[in-house]
Amino acid sequence: MRTLTGAARLAGVLGWPVAHSRSPLLHGTWLDRHGIDGAYLPLPVAPAEFSVAVRGLMALGFRGANVTIPHKEAAYALCDERDAAAERAGAVNTMVFKDGRIWGSNTDGWGFCESLREQAPAWRADAGPAVLLGAGGAARAIAARLLDEGCPRLVLVNRNLDRAMALAADLGGPIEVAVDPPLAGASLLVNTTSLGMHGEPPLIIDLSPLPTHAVVADIVYVPLETPLLAAARARGLVGVDGLGMLLHQARPGFSAWFGVEPVVDAALRAVVAADIPLT
């Protein structure tokens, strides 16, 4: 049984709201698994109080924190140092506090690709074009990572073409924009929008033009089996759910704060999945 002492290592997740986050369950499972004297807390912080809250956590001796909606850009601005992924994404989801300074990283794109490798072992970034639905923060992080891993052509699909074009210009590289997804010949289709999430309209898309080797990924994880993934599996395509991205993006932060390199395995997935509706 894990016990907290006065020397406990502390971290958490900053969001507004944050009660829905599965990160405390995820990190708590790792803490229990390794018997670490530490805790990971949900930290609801209004946007106007974000910088004050972060400085307060540092004063209290926290090792760092994850950052979720709507604070990722504010965290980017607050950091003293940022890694290349955060610079590319223009957002920070993981902060490490050390010697009175804030080091920021963005592990979303890395976590997404690690999830692809886990759930679709045959996938390779350089296998063919990738089509991303959406042009928000998640799309930016994932697009940057796919390009860095050798994706030969990336298509951003968004109803607001100006937003997609701005993102393409920021990232550079072999990127195109479109209103309708060009699926013929694509090796990867990724939904980075909220469509299909519990309480949101489903994502309606004709997957028939996709080749049989294509992988379909959805970063939505509530529910685990979105309508998009159900449609992909019905066609015999490999589907990758959003839970894997959530699990893998957490690994670097946990390692930095608690001093142990955690493992994503079937047991961890089962614990977190049990807290998520299947449909």
Positions annotated as catalytic residues are 72
The set of residues, in sequence order, having a beta carbon less than 8 Å from that of 263 and lying 6+ positions away, is none
Pick from 16, 147, 2: nearest CA to 85: 147
What tokens does 102 get?
């804030």
Q: Which two tokens stand for residue 225?
A: 């089996």
The dihedral sign for the CA sequence 67, 194, 279, 239: negative
Could you tell me the two tokens for 262?
């955690």
Strand 64-67's sheet: what is its strand order?
38-44, 9-15, 64-67, 94-98, 101-105, 81-82
Residue 222, judged by CB atoms within 10 A of its CB (0-12, 13-18, 19+), counts as middle
The torsion angle over the Cα atoms of residues 252, 41, 259 and 106, rounded to 10 degrees, is: 20
Q: What are phi and psi of 217, to 5 degrees?
A: -120, 145
Residue 73, strand partner residues: none
Amino acid at 37: D
What are φ and ψ of residue 32, in 5° steps?
A: -65, -45
Q: Cβ atoms within 10 A of the Cβ of 79, count?
A: 18
Degrees, nearest 5: CA angle 223-225-227? 100
